[in-house]
Structure formats: structure tokens, C-alpha cells
Amino acid sequence: MEYIYSALVLHAAGKQVSEDAVAVILKSAGVEPDASRIKALTASLEGVDIDEAIASAMVAAAPAAAPAQAAAAAPAKEEVKEEEAVTEEEAAAGLSALFG
């Protein structure tokens, strides 16, 4: 992931994503650069519009994330309903059990 992040940093700074530039960023982050991985990265990004790739990835991720978020939110609402179902008598009985 560090290699991809370094390419994104270069792109965000308006710099060319080159092997040397990626290596410099990795070194400055304390990562020992692997020349073959850097070459593979720069070769795979050749001719790619990074802004377009990011936009299409975000569009593709949004519909997939929506059902997951809805499913995660649904149990939380049900739990709240269960907690509200406790009556005052039950609460008092619970307290009396604590204090005998």
C-alpha cells in the first residue's frame, strides 16, 4: 500500500509519478524501496488518468457501502426499542434485588 500511497501523494502534489520520485517518498517515510515493485507500479499507472480512476472507484464503492451501513444501523435501532421496553416495575424489582 505504501507504493500506491506514494503515487497518490505525487499526483496530489502535481508531480509526475516516476520511479525516482516514488523511491524518494518511500525512503522519506522510512520504507526500503523495492525497485521491482516501483517499476510495476509506474508501468501499471502509465496512461491512466488517476483522477478518473479515483472518481470511478468512489462511485463503485458508494452503492456497495450503502447496504452495509443500513444493515449495521438496523440492529442498533432494534436494541434501543428493547431497552425502552423495560418498565418501571421491572427496574424497581432489579434495584430491590441489589439492595435486598
Rg (alpha carbons) of the chain, rounded to whole number: 26
Statement: 1-48 belongs to CATH 3.90.1150.10: no
**47 phi, psi to nearest 5 deg:** 80, 5
User: Angle, to 10 degrees, between the axis of helix 2-12 and the axis of helix 50-84?
Assistant: 110
pLDDT digits (tens, 9 = 90+) for 32-84: 999 999 999 999 999 999 999 989 888 877 766 666 666 666 655 555 555 55
User: pLDDT at position 37, please?
Assistant: 97
Mean pLDDT of 22-34: 96
User: pLDDT at position 59, please?
Assistant: 83
The set of cell numbers assigned to 91 is: 427496574
CA 95, CA 97: separation in Å to the nearest integer? Answer: 5
